[in-house]
Amino acid sequence: MKNAVVWSKIAVSDLKRATAFYEKLLDGKLKTETFGPYELALFPHAADGIGGCLMKGEGYEPSAKGTVTYLAAEPGIDAALKRAAAAGAKVLMPKIALPGDQGYIAHVADCEGNRVGLFAMSFNLLYGYMGQISFGHAAFFGVGAYATAMLFTALKGADGQIGVADFLLSLLVGPPVAALTALFVGFFCVRLTGIYFAILTLAFGELLFYIVFSWYSFTKGDDGIQGLLPPPFFQDSTNFYFFTLAIVVVAAAAMWRITESPFGYAMRTLRDNQRRAAFLGTNVRAHMLANFVIAGAFAGVAGALWGPFSRSVNPTLLGWGESGIAVFMTLIGGAGSFIGPMLGSVIYTMLQAVVKMYTVYWPLTIGTIILLIVLFAPGGILGMIDKRVQATRARDGAAEAEAAAAARAEAPRP
C-alpha cells in the first residue's frame, strides 16, 4: 500500500528558534539547508520513512494559515508537549503528526490521539461492557470512512473544492452507513459468543475488506480514494484539530451517558451472566445487536473524520490489523472502564514511537508486551492501579467454578 502523503512542512518565521524548539521537541537533530530563497531544517528520517522539514521563506506563514502541517512527534504526545512547553511553546499548539506508514496508527499529536482514542472506545463498548471481542471493528471504521469519502467525492466541485455544508453533509453520512453495516453483520454475529463471536466478526471484517479491495468500479480498489481536501477553514490544522476535538468530546460524552444508562447496565449484566440476564426479562440478542450497532456508529464517526484528515482513504482501513490495534489498546489500558482504552491508545502510540526509534521489530515487541499483559496483568494498566478491579478478577475464577457447578447441577441426569 502506497502512502498518499509523502512529505510534511512546518512553516516558521525564525528558523533558528524553531530548529532549537523542534530539536528539543523531537529529542533529535535537524539538518539545516538552503534551497533557493528558502531556509530549511530537515527532520531526521529513515530511508523508507516519511520526512519533513521546517521551512522559512515567502509564502510560508507560521500562523499555519493555508498550510496543512504534518509533524511526527515522538515518543508520545504527552512527552512531546512537555518538551514543547519546556521549549517555551504553548502546550496546546496543535502540530499534527502523520502516520509513519499505512497500516499502523503512529500518531503522537492530540489530533490523532483523539481519533484513535475514539476508535478504541467504541470497541470498548463491545468488549468492556458487553464482554465480547470484535476483531472486525475496523470494518465499521473503514465503511464510515468510505461512505464519507464517496459522498465527499460526489459533492466536490471540478476544482477539487468542497463547500462547508457539503463537507459537513459528507461527514454526517459516515456514522449511519457504518451503523447499518453493523446491523447487518451484527444480525449474524450476536448469535454467537466468546471466541466464536470474535472469529465471525473477523470473517465479516475481512469480507468487507475484500469487497472494498476488489470492487474497483465502485471503491477504486487498492488505489483508494484521494483528494479529500476539506474546505479552506478546515485545512488549517488548528481549526481541524478543534473541530475533531469538539466531535470527540461530544461523542465521548454520549458514550459515557450510554454506559451509565439502563442500557449500559443491561450490557454489564450480559457481560457477567447472560443466562441470568435473560431471566430478568432482557432480550439478550436484541441488546447485543443494539450495542453492536452503537459501537459501529461510533467507529463510523471516527471513520468519517479520517478521510478529510488524511486526505484519502484506502482498503487497509478495514483490515483486521486495524481492529487488532484497537483490541491491543483496550487490553493495554484495561477493558471495562471508560478511560482504559483511551489510556491504552496513548500508551500504545507512545510505545510504538519509542520502540521504532531503536528497532524495526515493533510487531515482535508489541506481541511480547500483549502476552505479558494477558498473563500477568489481565486488567491492563488500570487494572493494576485499581485494586477493586484486581480483586474482582480473582473472584471471577470462583464465579466461573460456580458457573461450572451450576452447569453440572443443571445437566440432565437419568
Partner 1 sequence: MSPNILEVTGLEKHFGGVHVTCNINFTMQEGEQAAIIGPNGAGKSTFMNLLTGYHRPDAGKVMFAGREITGLPPHRVVRRGISRAFQVSSIFARMTVRENVRAAVQAQMRATFRLFASGHSLGAEETERVLAMCGLAGKRDLVAGELAQGDKKRLELAIALAGKPRLLFLDEPTAGMSIDEARSTMELVDRLNRELTLTVLFTEHDMGIVFNHARRLTLLHRGEIILEGTPGEVRADATAQKIYLGEHHL
Q: Is residue 396 within the footprint of partner 1 (CB under 8 A)? A: yes
- Contacting residue, 63, 161, 283, 368, with partner 1 by CB under 8 A: 283
Q: Is residue 40 within the footprint of partner 1 (CB under 8 A)? A: no
What does the alpha-carbon distance between residue 335 and residue 358 come to, in Å, rounded to a whole number? Answer: 29
* Only segment of 22-30, 35-43, 202-210, 254-262 that touches partner 1 (CB under 8 A): 254-262
Q: Positive or negative, the Cα torsion across 402, 403, 404, 409? A: positive
Number of residues that bind partner 1 (CB under 8 A): 44
Which amino acid is residue 132, in one-letter code?
Q
- Enumerate residues 6+ apart whose C-beta is below 8 A from 281: none
Q: Is residue 294 within the footprint of partner 1 (CB under 8 A)? A: yes
Q: Is residue 195 within the footprint of partner 1 (CB under 8 A)? A: no
* Only segment of 140-148, 165-173, 182-190, 386-394 that touches partner 1 (CB under 8 A): 386-394
Q: Is residue 273 within the footprint of partner 1 (CB under 8 A)? A: yes
Taking a C-beta distance cutoff of 8 angstroms, is the pair 163, 231 a contact? yes
Helix (H, G, I), strand (E, B) or coil at 107: coil
Q: Is residue 258 within the footprint of partner 1 (CB under 8 A)? A: yes
- Contacting residue, 47, 154, 375, 398, with partner 1 by CB under 8 A: 398
- Contacting residue, 3, 282, 365, 390, with partner 1 by CB under 8 A: 282
User: What is the footprint of partner 1 within residues 315-344 (CB under 8 A)?
Assistant: 336
What does the alpha-carbon distance between residue 117 and residue 340 come to, in Å, rounded to a whole number? Answer: 10
* Only segment of 79-87, 104-112, 369-377, 398-406 that touches partner 1 (CB under 8 A): 398-406
Taking Cα atoms as reference points, which of 291, 257, 254 lies closest to residue 274? 291
What does the alpha-carbon distance between residue 205 and residue 323 come to, in Å, rounded to a whole number? Answer: 9
- Contacting residue, 262, 359, 376, 387, with partner 1 by CB under 8 A: 262
Q: Is residue 387 within the footprint of partner 1 (CB under 8 A)? A: no
Taking a C-beta distance cutoff of 8 angstroms, is the pair 13, 38 a contact? no
30: left (phi over 0), alpha (psi -120 to 50) or beta: beta
Question: Strands 31-35 and 38-42: what pairing?
Answer: antiparallel
| Strand intervals (E) in 19-159 | 31-35, 38-42, 51-56
Q: How far is the CB of 263 from partner 1 (least distance, A)?
A: 5
What does the alpha-carbon distance between residue 108 and residue 73 come to, in Å, rounded to a whole number? Answer: 6
Q: Is residue 406 within the footprint of partner 1 (CB under 8 A)? A: yes
Cell 509533524, located at residue: 71
What does the alpha-carbon distance between residue 131 and residue 121 come to, in Å, rounded to a whole number? Answer: 14
- Contacting residue, 16, 17, 31, 275, with partner 1 by CB under 8 A: 275
CA distances from 99 to 114, 217, 245 (A): 14, 28, 18
Q: Is residue 369 within the footprint of partner 1 (CB under 8 A)? A: no
Q: How far is the CB of 414 from partner 1 (least distance, A)?
A: 5
Q: How far is the CB of 281 from partner 1 (least distance, A)?
A: 4
Which amino acid is residue 81, in one-letter code?
L
* Cβ distance to partner 1 smaller for residue 80 or 389: 389
* Cβ distance to partner 1 smaller for residue 270 or 317: 270
- Note the residues at the interface with partner 1 (CB under 8 A): 257-258, 260-266, 268-269, 271-273, 275-284, 287, 290, 294, 336, 388, 391-392, 395-396, 398-399, 402-403, 405-406, 409-410, 412-414
